[in-house]
Chains A and B, each alone.
Chain A
Amino acid sequence: AQSVAQPEDQVNVAEGNPLTVKCTYSVSGNPYLFWYVQYPNRGLQFLLKYITGDNLVKGSYGFEAEFNKSQTSFHLKKPSALVSDSALYFCAVRVASGTYKYIFGTGTRLKVLA
């Protein structure tokens, strides 16, 4: 079965420290991987995606993610966290063409402490 797992419901990190939000996936075919962020009472906003090419992709607000095919992971990272990064983060995978369907993870709440 195809799935996306975000093993942590919540991640706490001190402001200025590096942060990692974990995502692993299980799909057949080539995965297209995405990260979205959701602020309170808002819809999801696109952060970054991996389609092909370099395993390290850079996105909005200083975030980056590393695609690791052997570990089927796509962890979200940022070198120095800001309090304003506190939000709900969703990993999603889309199977290659022929489907419109995303599979979303359950979300990880990131709390950056001042």
Chain B
Amino acid sequence: ETGVTQTPRHLVMGMTNKKSLKCEQHLGHNAMYWYKQSAKKPLELMFVYSLEERVENNSVPSRFSPECPNSSHLFLHLHTLQPEDSALYLCASSQNGAGYGYTFGSGTRLTVV
């Protein structure tokens, strides 16, 4: 384990369902991120939270809704998704400061049917 835990590891949901992805880190990091990884595409940054405030939202559809209740937890709430939203969703954390790398979770493999 890397220190960033994502649950569930796999999720299959229908287009009318509501589900949430969870990310937890106990590394003392103060920034957390959601990325989407689709086959043969660059990693897409979705959201950035720094000190529990959203600092970046990269034109993500409103059917994705992030929540960061504290510095250790990050959620991604999902509703009325489309099949093209099927992907690996990665959470990462870091310390503020450009010289610090990310610590990634193992991801949630989401399939929308």
Name A's B-contacting residues (CB within 8 A).
32, 34, 36, 41-46, 49, 51, 90, 94-102, 104-107
Partner of A43, one of B50, B98, B101, B104: B104
Residues 75-101 of B, flagged 1 when their CB comes within 8 A of A and 0 if not, give 000000000000000111010111101
Q: Is the CB of B102 within 8 A of A102?
A: yes
CB–CB A34/B50 < 8 A? no
Whether the pair A43, B109 counts as a contact (CB closer than 8 A) is: no
Number of interface residues of B (CB under 8 A): 30
- The smallest beta-carbon distance between A38 and chain B, in angstroms, is 8
Whether A105 pairs with B42 at a CB distance below 8 angstroms is: yes
CA distance A34 to B101 in the complex (A): 7
Are the CB atoms of B98 and A97 closer together than 8 Å? yes
Give Cα A76 to B14, complex, Å: 41
Q: Which residue of A lies closest to B91 (CB)?
A: A43
A46 engages B102 (CB within 8 Å): yes
- The reply to whether B50 and A45 contact each other, CB–CB distance below 8 Å, is no
Bound together, the chains give a CA A51 to CA B99 distance in angstroms of: 6
